[in-house]
Chains A and B, each alone.
Chain A
Amino acid sequence: MPNLKDLKVRIDSVKSTRKITSAMKMVAAAKLRRAQEQAEASRPYAQRMERMLGSLAAAAAGQAGAPKLLAGSGSDETHLIVVATADRGLCGGFNTSIVREARRTANALLEQGKTVKFICVGRKGRDQLRRDFGERIIDTVEDIARPSLSFDKAAAIGERVVAMFEAGEFDVCTMFYAEFRSAISQIVTPQQLIPFAAPAKADNGNGDDNGTDEEGGNDALDGAVYEYEPGEEEILTALLPTNISIQIFKALLENAASEHGARMTAMDNATRNAGEMINSLTLVYNRTRQAAITGELIEIISAKEAM
């Protein structure tokens, strides 16, 4: 029989845990809203960039002198994997599922005899990968979302990746992040950054566009011949690295929203579980107390009768 004092102590400790988790849940909800707003605000740029790049890439893809970022380096021996995770835990399976996906890809590549390198964005990813791929992790970027995620920070990573590519340090670059669907569903997505993979015909634009311009009239221009200033190639060489930074920026924004969503759900569950635990502990506590009282009563009554 557990004694009353121990039970009381446990109930109090679970109660304070519940207070913490419910506060974390509310903080995550607020951050999620902000992250979602930021992700939405960044969409117009990415969309227009995609539109521009789409028409350029289609024109340049077949040509011999196409930039390397578009055409690739001609081999796929060395792979760079950029793993975007959170800096903090307590967000359910968020970090683990991204890392698991990245690890699986890396192992598959290693089995084929390829070389794999990692860049970790986020402390948690590095911590989990370090055991298996310690010496393959070439860099870790930490605290990217503090105080806030900005394009400059994403661009710094982008420039680094492009510089490494140009130095011939890898052939293919893939980024792993969690795409945000809703607070309870985040989908781990691998995205190839280098060589540039033309996006599947964009079917977004409905609803999230401001609808200020009449898209119908513009669509007629897709595939139209543009004039290029200064030249097609110069524009492409300027556009492709920017695009990589943008893709990274977009992925990091999605990831931030996913992280807060995952944390919100995890903390919601934790709060609920703590509530259940308090209920069952309180029940045991009351029963024990009652049993003690009953025991004492019996003692008194039987003592009285014996007299």
Chain B
Amino acid sequence: MATAPYNYSYIFKYIIIGDMGVGKSCLLHQFTEKKFMADCPHTIGVEFGTRIIEVSGQKIKLQIWDTAGQERFRAVTRSYYRGAAGALMVYDITRRSTYNHLSSWLTDARNLTNPNTVIILIGNKADLDAQRDVTYEEAKQFAEENGLLFLEASAKTGENVEDAFLEAAKKIYQNIQDGSLDLNAAESGVQHKPSAPQGGRITNEPQPQREGCGC
């Protein structure tokens, strides 16, 4: 077995939110497995997936928490916003009600995450254009007014699914470069590995992320 040549430099924590049945789990599945899950059961509580992507030559591990959309889980899922670097806020372009609820999701996201958390709005089920209930322009405007990234995607065809996760990661990475995201603190949703090795050479140099050992 060959040694995997990579290791990642950062871990970004994401959270996926939105109404029940908009396709949150399918988006995650499409992103991590590159497959469409046709008969996706309702998420119970919170599920979890990871994938390593590359942004500007840096390997980034995305740790994605997919929440249940059902109201009864709302109290539980709220606890997972903590320290998310990115939030994917999903609605279904064929169901207006899921779009109308966005403001309440956005309020939750804003209240429960860092000011730096990157929120991307995703109109899912873009393949069902014939049944469209929310226009692209309208959602685009909503996103602009609220300072969100925006994409229409389809978990079924895979269209824009990669981009949705990548765009958010790019933006987060940009925040890191700008220095607006403080990496030296816990729970920023980003974990940085300063001595990212490429050649498999590991040294025992002390890592500056934490000072002192509490145990």
Q: Do A and B come from one complex?
A: no
Chain B residues within 8 Å of A, Cβ to Cβ: none
